[in-house]
Amino acid sequence: MTEEVSYNANELMVVNAARLLRDHDVVFVGVGIPNLACNLAIRTHAPNLQMIYEAGVIGAQPSRLPLSIGDPTLVTGSTSVCSMYDIFTLYLQRGNVDVGFLGGAQIDQYGNINATVIGDYQHPKVRLPGSGGSMEIAAWANRCYIITPHRKRRFPARVDFRTSIGFLDGGDARKKTGVRGGGPEAVVTDLGVLKPDPDGELVLAALHPGVSFEQVQENTGWVLKQAADCLVTEPPSFEELRILREELDPQRIYI
Amino acid sequence: MTKLLSLHDAVQEYIHEGDLLYASGFTHLIPFAAGHEIIRQGIKNLVLARATPDLIYDQMVATGCARKVIFSYIGNPGVGSLRRVRAAIEAGEIEWEEYSHFSMISRLQAGASGLPFMPMNPTGNLDITTQNPNYKHMKDPYTSQEVVVVPPLKPDVAVVHVQRADVNGNAHVWGILGEQRLAAFASQRVILTAEEIVDESVIRSDPNRTLISGLVVDAVCHVPYCAHPSYTQGYHDRDNAFYLAWDEISKTEEGVQAYLEEWVYGLPDRAAYWGKLGTEVHRRLHAGERLSQPVNYGDY
């Protein structure tokens, strides 16, 4: 008999993102939810996962939850620290990164991401932080995962600004640009998981327990297709939640 | 010849109205004390370049030091929006020039290496490359594949904070290295701030750790705790509480002005600032100790 446990939206996203990671993956990671997902994967099914931080840290063994991308706890005890130019070239551009995590204010039907502006670029209604490393991560990591809460304004049919590449307008548009990476493999939200179909269009691949297709459609800005083999995700297990709450983020900063 | 100067004198001598300034440091080693000194001296019309403008440029933009920012990520790292820079952009009060992290750093790499441009692999014809005319596309002459190129960034002046330096400006740096080294080598003039000024023999004891050579340094300033509220690896921790507090302070111009009156205009220098933070903050930011193993360079 399985125990009924309750969980929040962030825990649900962390757990589902963690399950997408494979043992021995080399992951280019930021702080917050992706960091938790990687550490959860290491403690469950992917003990040999390697984390590379954008700030230039490889093999970090943080003794506390890092609160910024450049937290000094990432450095102490790590296997290597290098410059920004090195991390983006020797590791990412060179093709040594399996997985990149991305987020943004808007994700569109073809997995393109906007993290730059809402409205016109020259006269922005809302000025967002901009690319940071995401333009290169989206293009050069072998595969990418996007984690974001599922809200209609976050999922327009077309983003206001393409900060980082998904599948552009679909078909072979991404491939034609010559980018080396394979693009987004999954978008993990608090309602389910979207995955690209062969044309690069994001379709509903899984629903979280208790969520209906209609709910997801209501929160998506295009006519959403449902994959023929659409699944229901396994709810977060007692053990996954215990690791998250007791070991990784006991102060509940990100969950 | 010693290059030792007070930070006040170094800023006065080497940073001029209208300069393109690069105050370096990716989350780590951000020279806040220099930003505050520039604000105190009222230097105007600066072009402020940093991959992550961080709170140092938020404060400088709020005081009207800058006519333009060049950046690749305008956020309050780990917290959210960088409110004053964002407000200035949304209001059309300031010019801006935008890159991704890697293209920004590639510009510095070209500038530091004396190259006419730096190529990078394609990232997919994204909107920034059409909005910013500095991005150009060309054919790799060897394979005919398309590459993206960006021009060199050559700041008039860089401020670079380090753990320790000798009086000639040879500097040991460890921890997150960001773009420290490139900023120093790309710039026409370099002000080095250091937690410690050490004898040349300390530098010579570990030459592999010397990331910045005195060859490119104009002034060396002894400025302990220069990087607060960011941090200096091994000297003090990042003040995350202040990064959170700034999110509130910077919600209004009045909040920012009150902060600047108290913590910048109202104080003569960094020593007074660190003292004013008080023992409770000093204790909270204490770095503790984890020493590296010495290496043997050999007695040749």
What percent of chain A stands above pLDDT 90? 87
Question: Are the C-beta atoms of A84 and B105 separated by less than 8 Å?
Answer: yes
Domain tally for chain B? 2
Is B127 in the same domain as B271? no
Same domain, B265 and B136: no
What sections of B205-269 are H helices per DSSP? 240-249, 253-260
Query: Is B27 within 8 Å of A70 when comparing Cβ atoms?
Result: yes
Residues B224 and B267 in one domain: yes
For residue A69, which residues of chain B lie inside 8 Å, CB to CB? 27, 77-78
Task: Reply yes or no on whether A54 is catalytic.
Answer: yes
Is A88:A97 a contact under the CB 8 Å cutoff?
Answer: no
Same domain, B62 and B188: yes
Domain contains B109 = no
Q: Which of B102, B143, B195 to mutate to test the interface with A (most CBs of A within 10 A)?
A: B102
**B chain contacts of residue A169, beta-carbon cutoff 8 Å:** none
Interface of B with A in 133-152 (CB under 8 A): 145-146
Structure tokens at B89: 């952009």
Between positions 76 and 135 of B, the ones with CB within 8 A of A are: 77-78, 81-82, 86, 89-90, 92, 98-103, 105-106, 108-109, 120-128, 131
Task: With a cut of 60, say whether residue A1 has pLDDT above it.
Answer: no
pLDDT along chain B (300 residues), means of 10: 95 98 97 98 98 96 97 91 95 96 97 98 92 96 95 98 98 97 98 98 98 98 98 97 96 96 98 98 97 97
Does residue B44 belong to any structural domain of this protein? yes
Count of CB pairs separated by less than 8 Å, A with B = 172
Among A11, A54, A136, A201, the active-site one is A54
A2 has a pLDDT exceeding 80: no
Neighbours of B283 (CB within 10 A): 8
What domains does chain A contain, in order, with CATH numbers? Answer: 9-248 (3.40.1080.10)
State which residues form the domain around B141.
117-150
What residues in B contact A111, CB-CB < 8 Å? none
User: pTM for this structure?
Assistant: 0.95
The Cα–Cα gap between A100 and A107 comes to 16
- With CB atoms and an 8 Å threshold, state whether A136 touches B82: no
CA distance A129 to A105: 10
Q: Are B22 and B121 members of one domain?
A: no
Both B125 and B11 in one domain: the answer is no
Looking from the CA of B206 toward its CB, the CA atoms found within 13 Å total: 17
Residues of chain A contacting residue B179, judged by C-beta atoms under 8 Å apart: 83-85
- Together in a domain, B199 and B265: yes
We report the CATH number of the domain holding residue B159 as: 3.40.1080.10
The count of other CB atoms within 10 Å of the CB of residue A217 is: 16
Average pLDDT over residues A58-76: 89
Long-range residue pairs from B110-113, CB within 8 A, at least 24 positions apart, any chain: B110/B150, B110/B151, B110/B152, B110/B153, B111/B152, B111/B153, B111/B154, B111/B155, B111/B182, B111/B185, B111/B186, B111/B187, B112/B181, B112/B182, B112/B183, B112/B184, B112/B185, B112/B186, B113/B185
Same domain, B71 and B127: no
Query: What are the strands, taking DSSP E only, across chain A?
Result: 26-29, 50-53, 57-58, 80-81, 99-102, 106-107, 113-114, 117-119, 124-127, 143-147, 184-188, 192-196, 202-207, 226-232
Clarify whether residues B178 and B161 are in a common domain: yes
Asked if A132 and B100 come within 8 Å (Cβ–Cβ), the reply is yes
| Average pLDDT of span A165-183 | 96
